[in-house]
Amino acid sequence: MDKVSLVVPCFNEQDNIVPFYDEILKVFSEIPEAAFELMFVDDGSSDETFSRIAELHDKDDRVKCISFSRNFGKEAALFAGIRNVTGDCTVVLDADLQHPPALIKEMYSLWKQGFQVVEGIKQSRGKESKIHGLFTRLFYRMISHAVKIDMANSSDYKLLDKAVTTELAKLGERNTFFRALSFWVGFKTTSVYYEVADRASGRSKWSTKSLMKYAIKNMVCFSYTPLHIISIVGIIFVLVALGIGIDALCSYIRNSAASGFPTIVFLLLIGFGGCLISLGIIGIYIAQIYDEVKKRPQYIIGRRIG
């Protein structure tokens, strides 16, 4: 019998735990050839999430839990999950039922056909603002360019073979980007499509600010394009400066030098602006390198069930 592990990151999801579990029971009643292990990763919840999971475990020992000492973020939760499961394959999905569990059946059958990574692709992006949509499209274009795979509409909902989770678990980096790393490791990949459901209960943990931080962190993690842009902008500045220099020289020779104060101020401002932006971008990369060099763990496990 196959064993499917489910990794479910939870941050203050007390009202979603039991409905989620019920859904999973329903799904696996339709896959009699597979057993499951349900690994909740409690990401430092301050509500009743942990005790709800503990109650479920008392009834059903297939329910397990790793609980962090504080909130370390969803990425850390996903990696803690895949490092601690024992199944032949692992499905990663959200606790709020936005990733429809009914899809597990299709993912499982694709895995049985020999696919090692089954990516859940969002058919629609659910409820999002226009600006958010524009921003995510830009972000994913850059990341797609970096991993050389089209990542538009990709999500954290996916099935990974044991071979894949073993490789992912070995990665030593702290600033992980699960969604892109599952492409990066390679293996035989296919996709399934789904509609993002509305959140079952509670609120999304993402604010615009935290999404911006997430995007910048992951861009740095996967792309050197911003550093290349700096060099290109630098070259353009030098070329413009050369052009202006030559023009000034010609004017001087023709004895018709223009009164150049505004031009100088303009150029100075552009130059300083460019330098500051470049320094900022380099700073972000250095901060991330610093983060990696410190070698602090990505998460700390406080309690365990099962």
Q: Which residue from 144, 208, 215 is spatially nearest to 175, judged by alpha carbons?
A: 215
Minimum distance, C-beta of residue 12 to Mg ion, in the bound complex (Å): 12
Nearer to ligand UDP, 156 or 230 (CB): 156
Nearer to Mg ion, 119 or 156 (CB): 156
**Residue 64, binding choice from Mg ion, ligand UDP, none, Cβ under 5 to 8 Å by partner class:** none
Nearer to ligand UDP, 211 or 227 (CB): 211
Give φ, ψ of 189 to 5 degrees.
Answer: -120, 145
Minimum distance, C-beta of residue 93 to Mg ion, in the bound complex (Å): 10
Length of the chain: 306
Minimum distance, C-beta of residue 237 to ligand UDP, in the bound complex (Å): 39
**Residue 266, binding choice from Mg ion, ligand UDP, none, Cβ under 5 to 8 Å by partner class:** none
Minimum distance, C-beta of residue 78 to Mg ion, in the bound complex (Å): 14
Minimum distance, C-beta of residue 268 to ligand UDP, in the bound complex (Å): 43
Nearer to ligand UDP, 79 or 115 (CB): 79
Minimum distance, C-beta of residue 3 to ligand UDP, in the bound complex (Å): 22
Nearer to ligand UDP, 5 or 116 (CB): 5
**Residue 278, binding choice from ligand UDP, Mg ion, none, Cβ under 5 to 8 Å by partner class:** none
**Residue 206, binding choice from Mg ion, ligand UDP, none, Cβ under 5 to 8 Å by partner class:** ligand UDP
With 0-12 CB in 10 A as exposed, 13-18 as middle and 19+ as buried, what is 269?
exposed
Residues at the site binding Mg ion, with contacts judged by CB under 5 A: 94, 96, 98
Alpha carbon of residue 158 to chain centroid: 13
**Residue 182, binding choice from ligand UDP, Mg ion, none, Cβ under 5 to 8 Å by partner class:** none
Residues at the site binding ligand UDP, with contacts judged by CB under 6 A: 9-11, 13, 43, 71, 73-74, 77, 94-96, 98, 204-206
